[in-house]
Copies of this chain bind each other. A is one copy, B any other.
């Protein structure tokens, strides 16, 4: 169950589909459970640009009548991040946020208002390749690049 033995990220295309997910998990000795399904469903259902915290996800599931514990939420989020299905965002808030990680597209980045906390997303292929270069230069294998810009938005100034 060590992470070192898990498959590399580029095998996870379409992994939000139940069958593919099941196979991916089982290959590594993990089981596909109702709870893991539900959590991925919530993340799939989230609108583009939405960033969900563990508590957000838990609350959404409780609201739709599911019975699920917080421990399961945290455990599952970590698992999905390790599998490369999710991106964990350090937006300098007091909690972490999660979003689907789509290996097909260029990772996007975040512009955050330090005053009101609003988040705007943007894309820039150059940034990712800069990260890749630096990782290579230092002998690292790349997992994720996060470019986070802090400022003050129009309304707040």
Residues of A that sit less than 8 Å from B by CB: 4, 88, 90-92, 96, 109, 111, 113-114, 120, 122, 124, 126-127, 130-131, 134-135, 138-154, 157
Contact among B92, B145, B154 for A139, CB-based, below 8 A: B154
Seed contacts A143-B150, A144-B149; 11 additional CB < 8 Å A-B pairs: A109-B134, A113-B140, A124-B130, A126-B130, A127-B127, A127-B130, A127-B147, A131-B147, A135-B149, A141-B152, A148-B148
Pick from B91, B122, B126, B153: contact of A126, CB below 8 A.
B126
- Known pairs A124-B130, A127-B127; A144 contacts B150 (CB<8 A): yes
Contact (Cβ within 8 A) A143 B114: yes
- Provide the bound-state CA to CA distance between A88 and B90, in Å: 12
- Complex partner residue of A146 from B120, B122, B148, CB under 8 angstroms: B148
Q: Cβ of A88: which chain B residues have Cβ within 8 Å of it?
A: 92
18 contacts between A and B (CB under 8 A): A4-B157, A90-B91, A90-B92, A90-B148, A111-B138, A111-B140, A113-B140, A114-B143, A122-B138, A131-B149, A134-B149, A139-B153, A142-B150, A143-B151, A145-B150, A146-B147, A146-B150, A147-B148
In the complex, are the beta carbons of A151 and B141 less than 8 A apart? yes
| Nearest opposing residue in chain B for A128, CB measure | B149
Q: How long is the Cα–Cα vector from A157 to B148 in the complex, in angstroms?
A: 27
